[in-house]
């Protein structure tokens, strides 16, 4: 392993952007000191696209990253671009800390997205070629043999044709509603009798596979796979849909609608009804993006622009298949040679020898346990809940659920606990974006089983990740707590990096009870023993901890901050980190996604390094390290340093107090700091560059591989 540690700060030699003033007179309110949130988010997605381009990644992993990029871009337009367009329409005059108006942001976003779209098209062509060389072929219809064409045409007749509904557009029939993210074919047909051309739209059904298997040919092996795109197959059978008409032209298009809808609280008697109404309205949000095939003619483009009520600058053209998130299905192919080596999370040593229900509680009672997912298995978390559901000594279980996922073993355990007579309370956050319908379903299912379900607050999302189990032991009540940086989701626990803590310390149990009293009842409690809770105590206490490091530096003592998080955009904390740097506090920030701080500016942020890691697993851990004169405080939790997390959500940060666990976290941070394979350094101009490393795979230290190896060897 590399010997590099956090003390080996990576120098940032990027020149500062113009307009920020002289070092002696920096105005911390100067917009030039901040990076725009939306453009920073686009930079993160560009780093995902880089992974799709990186030939050192296995070819199916490259296809996966291209699918992720496509999905991320969809969400970016549905939420972030939609919000900016609403601001423009409402003539909002407030600007973020970086000073860009909504109109300026939209201009820069569209420019960047068009630039990325060119890269995406080249990347797709390269991936397609290399997939074919490896035996995975994505065919056009005209590339098929006669037998192959007959086979897919038969599939069209039997499976696709009955599902299709061509929708005409003429004086008697209005322009059809186009669903967000749906793939469509625009078709121009000509009536041979009148010589008049008409427009029709066909929705490509999302209930069918996007990639249709094609028969193998002579010489193919069992490792060979052949596919045709669903929309291509439909396009070559349009005569079946328009008998008697001449097909003049067909081209694909896809739209993205606004999904950033406000909850209309006055329209519903409770939060559940309000969320259900919001989800229904999302289907009819205004159009924020129109993506068309490069081959689409100008008249059809103009027809779509007019009828979808979108400005021309909101249209993007692509030479690749539209909606490349469909490439994700290739990951199900039995070609392990074209993927990352499989990894099976390991059971933490403290939980390996458990045979009975009580033993898991005995293990936690003996001392705090820290799990590092996905390297450590999520199974002990599920076992903890199942043990609580079945143990006759357990009285109550209280749980927050933000994104539980499908077929959730966590939810199953809660329902089993209720069947066994436990008092079970679950806060199901209905406002978790794009998981609203799933969470509504879980909430209703839990309620039918008799679980006391809380939907959360109308104005605050509950983002805390916490489970409390109350158990009667020898005439005493003991509380067992699980806290996490990630969701109680057994699927994402295998692909997101997160940290979870088991503890039975009384102070943690007391804080957990107080937090659930806040969530389920009425509470103005502000004196939590251990937790930092947003929006109550987290912002103020966090600022005090940074200020303490500033004071250490002013005394000439070593001062250091190490934060690992998903996003840093809060202007107040960015300014405070600038002041800390000026005071001499060495600061290392591992920010996966959005970062509004400009590092490396002389005499302002030259003590700050910012690194983003994008790799096989999604970096999701949140670790906050404060050196404190050699007696470090380390917090984990659910919150990033963003106004929404600090002011508009229920969030929890919790301290790690056990010395061995503290040392484990410091080692995690050191390993992350040594990464050469996944790391990009943020420069003062807002761009990212890869850490300088050998072009050979053997010369690049990969923190995620190191964690996998350590977990297996442990």
Listed residues 465, 499, 527: the one ending a domain? 527
Q: Is 177 a residue of the active site?
A: no
Whether residues 288 and 331 share a domain: the answer is yes
Q: What is the pLDDT of residues 375-400, one digit of tens each?
A: 999 999 999 999 999 999 999 999 99
Domain of 500, in residue numbers: 349-527
Could you tell me the pTM of the whole model?
0.93
Confidence (pLDDT) at 458: 78
Whether residues 363 and 308 share a domain: the answer is no
Mean of the per-residue pLDDT values of the chain:
92
| pLDDT of 12 higher than 70 | no
Residue 403: pLDDT band with limits 50, 70, 90: confident
Residue 663 forms part of a structural domain: yes
Confidence (pLDDT) at 26: 86
Confidence (pLDDT) at 5: 47
Measuring CA to CA, which residue among 658, 306, 366, 685 is closest to residue 504?
A: 366
| pLDDT of 278 higher than 80 | no
Integer Cα distance of 374 and 242 in angstroms: 52
Structural contact between residues 480 and 508, judged by C-beta atoms closer than 8 angstroms: no
Residues 6+ apart with CB under 8 A from 621: 372, 485, 486, 497, 498, 499, 564, 636, 668
As given in the structure block, the two tokens for residue 91 are: 């003539």
Confidence (pLDDT) at 524: 86
Higher-confidence residue of 30 and 434: namely 30
Helix (H) or strand (E) holding 673, with range, is helix 659-673
Residue 40 forms part of a structural domain: no
Whether residues 553 and 695 share a domain: the answer is yes
Q: Which of 153-162, 253-262, 341-350 has the lowest mean pLDDT?
A: 253-262
Residue 3 forms part of a structural domain: no
Integer Cα distance of 438 and 84 in angstroms: 27
CATH number of the domain bearing residue 217: 3.30.1840.10
Average pLDDT over residues 247-270: 77
Residue 12 forms part of a structural domain: no
Measuring CA to CA, which residue among 295, 291, 205 is closest to residue 248?
A: 295
Confidence (pLDDT) at 654: 98
As given in the structure block, the two tokens for residue 26 are: 């920096």
Instruction: Report percent pLDDT > 90 for the chain.
Output: 83
| pLDDT of 318 higher than 70 | yes
Residue 440 forms part of a structural domain: yes
Q: Which of 7-11, 363-367, 625-629, 657-661 has the lowest mean pLDDT?
A: 7-11
Residue 198 forms part of a structural domain: yes
Whether residues 514 and 557 share a domain: the answer is no
The catalytically annotated residue of 372, 463, 482, 620 is: 463
Whether residues 455 and 383 share a domain: the answer is yes
Residue 215 forms part of a structural domain: yes
Whether residues 319 and 392 share a domain: the answer is no
CATH number of the domain bearing residue 515: 3.30.870.10
Whether residues 320 and 184 share a domain: the answer is yes
Confidence (pLDDT) at 194: 93
Whether residues 635 and 545 share a domain: the answer is yes
Can you list the positions of beta strands (E) in 170-242? Answer: 183-191, 196-203, 211-213, 225-229
Listed residues 502, 527, 552: the one ending a domain? 527
Residue 394 forms part of a structural domain: yes
Please classify residue 619 by burial: count the beta carbons closer than 10 Å to its beta carbon, then call 0-12 exposed, 13-18 middle and 19+ buried: buried
Whether residues 162 and 235 share a domain: the answer is yes
Q: What is the pLDDT of residues 151-192, one digit of tens each?
A: 999 999 999 999 999 999 988 899 999 999 999 999 999 999
Q: Measured over all CA atoms, what is the biggest interatomic distance in the chain, rounded to whole angstroms? A: 91
163-183 as b/e: b if 16+ CB within 10 A: ebeebbbeeeeebbebebbbb
How many structural domains comprise the chain? 3
Listed residues 500, 527, 554: the one ending a domain? 527
Average pLDDT over residues 399-411: 90
Whether residues 471 and 590 share a domain: the answer is no
Whether residues 566 and 650 share a domain: the answer is yes
Whether residues 595 and 642 share a domain: the answer is yes
């Amino acid at each position: 392993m590399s010997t590099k540690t956090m003390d080996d700060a990576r120098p940032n030699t990027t020149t500062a952007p113009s307009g920020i003033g002289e070092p002696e007179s920096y105005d911390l309110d100067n917009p030039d000191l901040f990076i725009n949130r939306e453009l920073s988010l686009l930079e993160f997605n560009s780093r995902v696209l880089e992974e799709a381009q990186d030939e050192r990644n296995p070819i199916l992993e490259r296809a996966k990253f291209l699918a992720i990029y496509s999905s991320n871009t969809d969400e970016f337009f549905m939420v972030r671009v939609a919000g900016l367009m609403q601001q423009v329409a409402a003539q909002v005059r407030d600007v973020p800390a970086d000073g860009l108006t909504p109109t300026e942001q939209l201009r820069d976003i569209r420019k960047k997205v068009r630039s990325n779209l060119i890269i995406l098209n080249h990347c797709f062509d390269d991936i397609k070629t290399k997939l074919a060389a490896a035996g995975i072929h994505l065919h056009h219809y005209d590339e098929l043999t006669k037998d192959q064409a007959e086979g897919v045409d038969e599939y069209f007749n039997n499976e696709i044709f009955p599902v299709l509904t061509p929708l005409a557009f003429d004086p008697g029939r209005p322009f059809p509603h186009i669903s967000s993210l749906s793939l469509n074919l625009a078709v121009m047909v000509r009536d041979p009798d009148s010589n008049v051309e008409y427009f029709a739209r066909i929705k490509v059904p999302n209930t069918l596979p996007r990639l249709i298997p094609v028969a193998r040919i002579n010489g193919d092996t069992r490792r060979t796979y052949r596919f045709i795109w669903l929309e291509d197959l439909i396009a070559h059978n349009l005569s079946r849909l328009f008998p008697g008409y001449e097909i003049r032209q067909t081209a694909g298009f896809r739209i993205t609608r606004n999904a950033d809808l406000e909850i209309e609280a006055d329209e519903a008697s409770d939060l559940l009804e309000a969320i259900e109404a919001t989800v229904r309205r999302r289907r009819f949000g205004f159009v924020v993006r129109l993506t068309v095939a490069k081959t689409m003619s100008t008249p059809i483009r103009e027809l779509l622009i007019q009828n979808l009520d979108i400005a021309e600058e909101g249209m993007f053209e692509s030479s690749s298949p539209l909606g490349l998130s469909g490439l994700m299905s290739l990951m199900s192919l039995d070609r392990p040679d074209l993927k990352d080596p499989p990894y099976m999370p390991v059971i933490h040593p403290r939980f390996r020898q458990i045979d009975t229900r009580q033993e898991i509680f005995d293990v936690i009672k003996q001392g705090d346990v820290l799990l590092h997912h996905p390297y450590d298995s999520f199974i002990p978390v599920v076992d903890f809940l199942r043990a609580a559901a079945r143990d006759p000594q357990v009285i109550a279980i209280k749980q927050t659920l933000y994104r539980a996922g499908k077929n959730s073993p966590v939810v199953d355990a809660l329902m089993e606990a209720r069947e066994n007579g436990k008092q079970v309370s679950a806060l199901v956050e209905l406002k978790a974006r794009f998981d609203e319908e799933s969470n509504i379903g879980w909430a209703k299912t839990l309620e039918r089983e008799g679980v006391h379900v809380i939907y959360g607050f109308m104005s605050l999302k509950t983002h805390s990740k916490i489970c409390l189990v109350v158990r009667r032991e020898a005439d005493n009540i003991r509380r067992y707590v699980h806290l996490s940086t990630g969701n109680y989701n057994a699927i994402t626990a295998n692909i997101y990096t997160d940290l979870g803590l088991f503890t039975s310390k009384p102070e943690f149990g007391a804080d957990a009870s107080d937090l659930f009293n806040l969530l389920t009842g009425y509470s103005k409690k502000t004196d939590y023993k251990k937790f930092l809770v947003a929006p109550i105590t987290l912002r103020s206490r966090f600022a005090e901890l940074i200020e303490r490091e500033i004071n250490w530096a002013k005394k000439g003592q070593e001062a250091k901050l190490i934060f690992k998080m998903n996003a840093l955009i809060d202007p107040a904390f960015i300014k405070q980190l600038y002041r800390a740097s000026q005071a001499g506090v060495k600061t290392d920030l591992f920010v996966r996604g959005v970062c509004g701080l400009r590092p490396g500016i002389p005499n302002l942020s030259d003590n700050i390094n910012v690194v983003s890691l994008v790799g096989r697993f999604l970096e999701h851990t949140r670790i906050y390290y404060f050196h404190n004169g050699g007696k470090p405080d380390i917090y984990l939790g659910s919150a990033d340093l963003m106004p929404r997390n600090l002011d508009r959500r229920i969030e929890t940060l919790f301290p790690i107090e056990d010395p061995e666990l503290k040392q484990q976290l410091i080692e995690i941070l050191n390993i992350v700091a040594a990464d050469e394979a996944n790391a990009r350094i943020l420069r003062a101009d807002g761009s990212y560059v890869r850490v300088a490393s050998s072009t050979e795979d053997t010369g690049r230290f990969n923190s995620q591989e190191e964690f996998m190896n350590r977990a297996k060897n442990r």
